[in-house]
Amino acid sequence: MLQNYINGQFLDANDKLNVYQKYTGELLAEVPVATSEQVELAVKSSAESFNIFKRFSAEKKAGILKQIYDLLSHQADKFSKIIAAESGKPISYAQSEVNRALDNLQTGIRAVLEFTGRQVPMDYLNGKGKTAFTLRFPTGPVLGITPFNFPLNLALHKLIPAIGVGAPIILKPAPQAPVTLLLFAELLAQTDLPSGAVNVLYTTNELSQKMVEDDRLKILSFTGSDKIGWKLKSLAGKKKVLLEMGGNAAAIIDESADLKRAAKKLSYGSFLNAGQICISTQRIYVVENVFDEFITRFLEETSKIKSGDMFDLEVVNSSMISHKDLLRIDQWVKEAVKQGAKILHGGKILNEAANIYAPTVLTDTQPDMKVWSEEVFAPVVLVEKVKDFKQAVSAANNTRYGLQAGVFSNRINHILFAQNHLEVGSVIINDIPGFRIDGMPYGGIKDSGMGREGAWYAMMDYTEPKLIVLDA
């Protein structure tokens, strides 16, 4: 029986949330919806444990992360299956998520042991003879709100830096996929974490909003839609706010690119996990003199993408997270076609009962179409012809999002131009926009958010510097 983990205790609640297996529609689990009293206990215990947890040594915090690593590694298969079932993620990709989570924990262990301030130059003017340096101290308890598409690893991107700096954290999972994180809490209960240092609970939007507004919690770390993220930021008061809110990732192909390699990588990067990845490729811009060859190769690779049951190891494109989202993307594609877009592949529902949409390639799209202007979060990609590389960069920037972009080029002048002019948090050369390893500084600009994930970088965001000046 699943329970919320609050102040070192597992607590049930009368109200339940039903969570369904995304391919079969069968009931997977009942999740207790934490009461207002339980939410208050979580916040209170976080605030009270701060004075204890912030004094933990680096060795002790690294030791806790190692305990979590060991516990998770022994249950990797169990967590892979739960992730696949509740999020609709292909099992091979769910296995990859668990492996990434383990790597994330190892990265966090290294970051904890290396985390430090910096020496501050003082030997000038009236600072002559003085030595100065900074130490970093945790800002305070954290509220982490996590999404459905990576129910384990994106939660760890909030948990690991919190443990790393000694900041208590409340983790609240998404309603579409809360089971993974509540099961993970059972591992946390077996570690040396002090009571209240980590609380894991699912609750209503109303009570979640009250936590956002509660001054006892000093940091909000949110991953989800930009609409919700900006609203929460407006409610967060004096909190430090970190937002990772998705994107509308573009890839650029120039004349020097390896078209075979680009087509294969981009077909996978467009349709993996039904496109439900913040950095899934959504738009591809190809310079005109290689467009025909690229699109032929790309459509050939797209035809190889297998759709179906997430527990089939060969499946790349499985269930979307809900029937509502399936109907949404079907409507968006139909609207785009009415407005002049052409379907080169797919463009239809494959299995309505299992919420599977066909891998879809569109062209002749325009910026005012939803499939261009919004984050599709579905297995749909646009491929457009452009005159030259500069026009491709301009088109890639024509969005309110700015998370990551991919550039396939072997021309140094194009690579440098992309580096200097693409309005994104990361430029990935000769790979898909969806490239990520968990230690890198990951995050975006514009409506894609603020702050960075990656253990060391998030630890910087979770702390404040204190300057120490010594007179010789």
* pLDDT tens digits for range 93-152: 999 999 999 999 999 999 999 999 999 999 999 999 999 999 999 999 999 999 999 999
* pLDDT tens digits for range 172-222: 999 999 999 999 999 999 999 999 999 999 999 999 999 999 999 999 999
Domain boundaries, the chain: 4-245+448-471, 249-438
* pLDDT tens digits for range 303-333: 999 999 999 999 999 999 999 999 999 999 9
With a cut of 80, say whether residue 472 has pLDDT above it: no
Read off the pLDDT of each residue in 252-263 and give the average, rounded to a whole number.
Answer: 98
Class of domain 249-438: alpha beta
Read off the pLDDT of each residue in 373-392 and give the average, rounded to a whole number.
Answer: 98
* Whole-prediction pTM: 0.96
With a cut of 80, say whether residue 70 has pLDDT above it: yes
Confirm whether 4-245+448-471 and 249-438 share one CATH topology.
Answer: no
Map the chain to HEC letters: CCCEEECCEEECCCCEEEEECCCCCCEEEEEECCCHHHHHHHHHHHHHHHHHHCCCCHHHHHHHHHHHHHHHHCCHHHHHHHHHHHHCCCHHHHHHHHHHHHHHHHHHHHHHHHCCCCEECCCCHHHCCEEEEEEEEECCCEEEECCCCCCCHHHHHHHHHHHHHCCCEEEECCCCCCHHHHHHHHHHCCCCCCCCCEEECCCCHHHHHHHHHCCCCCEEEEECCHHHHHHHHHHCCCCEEEEECCCCEEEEECCCCCHHHHHHHHHHHHHHHHHCCCCCEEEEEEEHHHHHHHHHHHHHHHCCCCECCCCCCCCCECCCCCHHHHHHHHHHHHHHHHCCCEEEECCCEEECCCCEECCEEEECCCCCCHHHHCCCCCCEEEEEEECCHHHHHHHHCCCCEECEEEEECCCHHHHHHHHHHCCCCEEEECCCCCCCCCCCCECCEECCEECCECHHHHHHHCEEEEEEEEEC
Superfamily classification of domain 4-245+448-471: Aldehyde Dehydrogenase; Chain A, domain 1 (3.40.605.10)
Average pLDDT over the chain reads 97
With a cut of 90, say whether residue 246 has pLDDT above it: no
Read off the pLDDT of each residue in 41-69 and give the average, rounded to a whole number.
Answer: 98
pLDDT band at residue 1 using 50, 70 and 90 as cut-offs:
confident
**Residues annotated catalytic, as ranges:** 244, 278
